Each structure stands twice: as structure tokens, then as C-alpha cells.
Structure 1
Amino acid sequence: MTLILTNDDGIDAPGIQALIQAVDGYKVIIAAPKDHQSGCGHQVTTTNAIALHKRSENTYAIAGTPADCTRIAISHICKDVKYVLSGINAGGNLGVDAYISGTVAAVREAAMHGIPGIAISHYRKGKLDYNWDAATRWTKKVLGELFTHPLEAGSFWNVNLPHLLPDAPEPEIVFCQPCVKPLPINFRIEGNNFYYVGDYSKRDRTPDSDIDVCFSGNIAITQLTV
């Protein structure tokens, strides 16, 4: 089974290295943005050239967005793809974040072409360090579950890993609904300039939604549609 691996933090980000470790034993092709593309949503490049640099037999750095990477990977690098995996993103992609996230856009693009996809993100509490070893371990567990779980046509999985302290119990996998409450709209204003200062950790959330599940210390999995 061939897997396409991509992300929006860039091909050299620690999260995609953690994802590579999580799929050890599978045939993989890495087709990820050359540069950081976080928050670009489902932007695609249609009027400029997209440069592709082949780093190795199965690794490609692409000067485009995550959706561009998926488009090029499934149309020109490998046409027999079983899954597109995106991540592991440094930061949560919960609820309405899915509309902003380049991580999620990469697998949404795959779903548009009939290819199942899984977006994986690692929520971060405040400025605490990421635990990429734990993220790899949890991702292996999640993929073992989702690779055998049927997906409806035009849908994909959005996975959010929690941020836990070292002595916390192992998280449970919880299938849930995405929260539809908006991100906080708070700005600091200096003259004519607006600086966003919304507190992600204090965002409003529906009980038992993906935000509630992840913030409570468990792995939130939602099924989204294109």
C-alpha cells in the first residue's frame, strides 16, 4: 500500500518526521511544501510555476501549497495511491480550523479525487514543548484503527492529538463531531493596525465535540466531507 505524506509546516518540520516514523514498514512517498505554508487553507497555484525538487527516490520538496502537493503527487509522482496522510501538524486543527488549515486541505484535495485521506495534528498547550515521540506512538495506534475503518465517498478523517504531561494516562481514541463554534475574534489595535490576540486555548466549544475531547486529553477523530 503506497502512502503519500505531506504537511503544511514544510518538508523539514519535525512533525512530518514523526509521521514518517509512524508509518514505518509502509511504502511511502513524501511530497511536501518546500517552505512553511501553515494557515493557507485550500489555496492552489494556477498562474505561477510550481518548482519540484527531487531530494531522493521517494522524497520531493514542492514550492507550493499543501493542496498543490497533493495534486502533483497523485497526478504525476504516483498514480496508484491508497492514502494521503498530512501532518503531523504543529498545533491543533479542531472544529472550524479545518477551513483555515493547509494540513486538512491536503487530504480534502485527495478526497475530491476519490482517495482517502487522514489529517493529523498535535494540539499544544501554551508554549510547552511538543512530544513528538508520543505523537508518533499515538499516530501508529490511530492509523491501525483508521486503515480498517470504511470511509464514505467524498469524506476524510481529521485527527487531533492532545498535549499531555509526562505522568498523564494514555489518551483514548474518541470518534466525535467537529465543533462549529467560531474562533475568538480579539484584536489589539495600534493606530490603523489590528493584531490578532485571540486565546486558542479558551475558545468556546460544544460538549463532546472534537475541541472538548482533545482539550480534555484524548485523541479526537472527526469525519469531514468535501
Structure 2
Amino acid sequence: MTWILTNDDGIDAPGIAALAQAIEQPALLIAPQTHHSGCGHQVTTSGPITIDQRTLPVESNLLASYGIGGTPVDCVRVALQHLCPTLTWVFSGINMGGNLGSDIYVSGTVAAVREAALHRIPGIALSQYHRRDRPIDWSRSTRWAKRVIQHLQDQPLPSQTFWNVNFPHLPPEAPDPEIIQCPLSRQPLPVAYRQAEAGLVYEGNYHGRDREPGSDVDICFQGNIAVTQIQV
């Protein structure tokens, strides 16, 4: 088995470091050199894609680390074609911020595992919902990621499907959440803008979005780990 780790926050983001600590077998880290949050399924076809091999941290469980001059989907494509043609799983994240409901259409984190699913390779996208009133405890996210990955690898996953996982943002004293499999919310994000000198600025209230009962948004906002199986 050969696993790769990627993300859309960039190779130096704390979330992918947290994910690397959650992986219990050697893996390749193949992630964008820079931040690509919100890039969706964007690919690079009109210019070169650079590959920068990084020095591995001490006591790393990684086989190698590569910074890719492209998007998360580029990372999966480059892995398949050049760096790891035998890859068997793709893990993307841990994203700083939720990727719930309609977020999956703009998320680079989710796009990476969607691309893997198109090639009939299973994958898990992991995101850490973030409330602005408290910092993220990445060690906690690592613990939850390890638990979720172990759980989902034992679950059936039909061809060309993938898992989308969202962790809640709990107070420090809260107990660990349950893992709940649930459907994707089909409600749109709040749409609101304010007028600024340069034009309109988006200021939709993510935390006030519709909580369709039983959906991934509802489960995550309740304080549990939302797990959704998505077909490409």
C-alpha cells in the first residue's frame, strides 16, 4: 500500500503536519508550494509545474516530501504520473476551516480526493471547522484524524466515491466527539456583500448557514465528526 498526503493550504500549513502525525504507515507528502484554498478542481495546463523535494523532519513517518508548483489536483496528477504511480490512497487536509455541504464545489482539499476517485483510487478529505473565537488545537485534530482513518478503512467504499470528513471545533474541556455518517447538506451558503471603495466584499455568515437536520452541517455544528460518502 502506498499513501500520499496533500492539501490546499500549502505544504507548510499546520494542518498537513497534523495529518502526517496521524498516519500510521510510511507515506509521501505531495502538496502545493503555496496556499490554494478555494481553488476547486483547478488544474495547470498552460505552464510548467515545478517540483521541489523537501528535507524530511526528524523522526518523520514520511518516505519523501515534495512541494508542487500547482494546485491540489495537480499534486494528485503529478503523483500518479511521476512520483508515485502505485499510490493506493489519497488523504487531503487537514484543512483549516470546514468543507461542509456546498463547500465541496469550491474546496481544493476535496478536489484532490475527487481527482483520485476519478482514477478509481480511494481517498479521504479531512477538514477542521474553525470558530474564530478560539484557536485550533491541532494535536486534537491529529487524534481525531487517526481515529477516523482507522474507522473508514474498514468501511466499504464503492468505486469512484470518496469520504469527506469534518471535525467540530469544541471547547478545550469537551469530550471527544462521535463519528456520525450523514448526507451532504444541499442548502446554499449565505450570500451577503458590503460595499467597499474598491467594490463589493463578501461577508456571508458561515456559522449562521442553514442547518438542514441530519446533514453534515448539522452534525458538525452539533459537535460531532461528520462523515459523508460522495460519488463523483
State TM-score, norm by structure 1: 0.97
Aligned amino acid, residue 97 of structure 2:
G
SS at the partner of 1:169?
coil
Q: CA RMSD in A?
A: 1.0
Report whether the alignment pairs 1:121 with 2:127: yes
2:197 and 2:68 map into 1 onto residues whose CA distance is 39
Shift in Å at residue 87 of structure 1? 0.2
Shift in Å at residue 191 of structure 1? 5.2
1:8 and 1:109 map into 2 onto residues whose CA distance is 13
1:4 and 1:160 map into 2 onto residues whose CA distance is 19
> What does residue 30 of structure 2 align with?
31
SS at the partner of 2:117?
helix
The number of residues matched between the two structures is 225
Aligned amino acid, residue 137 of structure 2:
N
> What does residue 60 of structure 2 align with?
none
Shift in Å at residue 190 of structure 1? 2.8
Shift in Å at residue 192 of structure 1? 6.2
1:148 and 1:223 map into 2 onto residues whose CA distance is 14
Report whether the alignment pairs 1:176 with 2:175: no
> What does residue 21 of structure 2 align with?
21
More displaced 10-residue stretch of structure 1: 163-172 or 190-199: 190-199
Q: How does 1:158-173 map to 2 (within 5 A)?
A: 158-173=164-179
Q: How does 1:1-226 map to 2 (within 5 A)?
A: 1-24=1-24, 26-56=25-55, 58-190=64-196, 193-226=199-232
1:192 and 1:22 map into 2 onto residues whose CA distance is 43
State TM-score, norm by structure 2: 0.95
Residues 72-115 of structure 1 show CA distances to partners (whole Å, capped at 9, x for unaligned) of: 01221111111000000000000010000000000000000010
Shift in Å at residue 218 of structure 1? 0.2
1:74 and 1:147 map into 2 onto residues whose CA distance is 21
Shift in Å at residue 118 of structure 1? 0.3
What residue ranges of structure 1 are gaps of 5+ in the alignment?
A: none
- Identity level (%): 54
Residues 112-146 of structure 1 show CA distances to partners (whole Å, capped at 9, x for unaligned) of: 00100100000011242011011000001000111
1:182 and 1:192 map into 2 onto residues whose CA distance is 26
SS at the partner of 2:12?
coil
What residue ranges of structure 2 are gaps of 5+ in the alignment?
A: 56-62
1:190 and 1:92 map into 2 onto residues whose CA distance is 27
1:4 and 1:13 map into 2 onto residues whose CA distance is 16
